Structure 1
């Protein structure tokens, strides 16, 4: 009897031990360690971005599409004569520098090696007699200038040339001198960085009255010569390149003496609409 009780007690103890072992195994299987949970969380975050992250990626993609346009090309002015390539920062180099409508300003530059191949001496009076570089213009512009001077003379307005074409090296010398005199920031308001000067195109000229009074100075504004030019220059294919009130667009102060040849059609439209060459070329971003 005692032996039977001993065996029963032993069996009960064995059964209880087995139950405890099974319970521990189930608990271990159902509850992962803290390290395993972190690994699972990291993997989940790595394979599925949060809603905020997905929205950011989509937003960035939309922004890039808006900047490049539907075709995927970099946005540039839509003028057929602009022809800009070689983007470097905010500076674009023109690829059709020989076009009479070419846009040259603080954003658009001429190739450093560019030199017009049809420079001539227009048959008009200048404030100097020497046949030097700054007396030259491209043939088409020179012809237009001769007609402009003749038209002005018929109405009693006597004009004289001050400065026309400048080579890249000449513009470099001038700009360097102005920077030393007034500082770079101030110099950029009235003088162009080499490669960005309209005078390098051979299509621009500064003019004054025949006496030379107020030549290329603010006091030229309001003179009979300045008034006549503002009213009639477009009839001969020229525009006042840097008009009053458009400084934020052209990037330069008002210069009533600075004429730019663009051809009669373009000049007529620019004059009629009261716009700048930037606006005509669909480039109206403020330039500083």
Structure 2
């Protein structure tokens, strides 16, 4: 017997314990190896970009910024870029213009025209606004090159040529010639087309809901440096529902969006 200690275990029992300890250690080592193999990504997997990799520059919808000017395209394209630098030819007129009265759209002039697809969506928009208690009437829609020339001349006679440039587009440079732009008004705005419309509940409703019907605000507040035009809370342009959704997701205004995704007017003398 060892002094001050317990009697040692028999040799056979000690050998059994040793074998058990070695087996347990081997199992633990194997488990650690398997766990490491499961948790460690393979070389092939690690080399792939993660699904949540950073979005490419140019907007929230994953479309990269386009370098250079927009490509040339048909003037009938819903995303044709018409601004102070890109003009429509005098002869251009959409081939599918229809009277708004045929779609039950309230208008100050019963002869106002719009492209068929835009007119259909406009009718749905106006009805949806009315269902929520907001009156909307159209003061202006399609405007020919000749009509735009006369409209711009009126503004120039009131404010002079230099000041009129920021208030009215030159002929050929107006979105109204596309047949997809409308000017809204209502009783609260005195059935006038002016910035006071932007303070109405109907205007706020439009800002929130118009893109659901493919219409977007063309000249936003604070955007004059980019667009060349003062704030026009009444002026909306139809670009289609899907494009309007992409524009919303991108966080861009219409001018920026068309520079990225639109086309330059490429119609000849015969139109679209």
TM-score tier after normalising by the smaller chain length: 0.5 to 0.7
CA deviations on 1:211-258 (whole Å, 9 max, x unpaired) are 652621111112111100000000000001101121111111111110
Q: Which moved more, 1:248-257 or 1:268-277?
A: 268-277
Write the distance in 2 (CA, Å) between the matches of 1:279 and 1:97.
19
Q: How is 1:67-106 mapped onto 2 (pairs within 5 angstroms)?
A: 75-77=68-70, 83=72, 95-106=73-84
Query: Aligned with 1:234: secondary structure?
Result: helix
Query: Is the 2:183–2:234 contact (alpha carbons within 8 Å) kept by the matching residues of 1?
Result: yes
Write the distance in 2 (CA, Å) between the matches of 1:158 and 1:222.
14
172, 181, 197: which one pairs with 1:195?
A: 172
Q: Normalization by structure 1: what TM-score? A: 0.63
238, 259, 265: which one pairs with 2:215?
A: 238
Give the number of the structure with larger relative contact order, counting CA–CA contacts within 8 Å between residues 6 or more apart. Answer: 2
Question: Which consecutive residues of structure 1, in runs of 5 or more, have no partner in the other structure?
Answer: 1-73, 84-94, 284-288
Query: Aligned with 2:93: secondary structure?
Result: coil
The residue number in structure 2 matching 1:250 is: 227
Q: How is 1:169-184 mapped onto 2 (pairs within 5 angstroms)?
A: 169-184=146-161
Query: Aligned with 2:155: secondary structure?
Result: helix
127, 133, 149: which one pairs with 2:126?
A: 149
How far apart are 1:105 and its partner, in Å? 0.6
How far apart are 1:275 and its partner, in Å? 1.8
Q: Normalization by structure 2: what TM-score? A: 0.66
Question: Which consecutive residues of structure 2, in runs of 5 or more, have no partner in the other structure?
Answer: 1-66, 261-272
Count residues with an aligned counterpart.
Answer: 192
The residue number in structure 1 matching 2:108 is: 127
How far apart are 1:111 and its partner, in Å? 1.4
- Measured on the aligned residues, the alpha-carbon RMSD in Å equals 1.9
The residue number in structure 2 matching 1:259 is: 236
Structure 1 or 2, whichever has the larger Rg, is 1
CA deviations on 1:59-102 (whole Å, 9 max, x unpaired) are xxxxxxxxxxxxxxx9422xxxx51xxxxxxxxxxx41101111
Query: Is the 1:127–1:212 contact (alpha carbons within 8 Å) kept by the matching residues of 2?
Result: no
Write the distance in 1 (CA, Å) between the matches of 2:84 and 2:138.
25
198, 204, 223: which one pairs with 1:221?
A: 198
The residue number in structure 2 matching 1:14 is: none
Write the distance in 2 (CA, Å) between the matches of 1:210 and 1:274.
32
Going from structure 1 to structure 2, the CA distance change for 1:113 and 1:265 (only over 3 Å counts) comes to same
Query: Aligned with 1:149: secondary structure?
Result: helix
Query: Is the 2:81–2:259 contact (alpha carbons within 8 Å) kept by the matching residues of 1?
Result: no
158, 177, 184: which one pairs with 1:207?
A: 184
CA deviations on 1:111-165 (whole Å, 9 max, x unpaired) are 121011100012211124x32xxx1000011011001001111111111110101
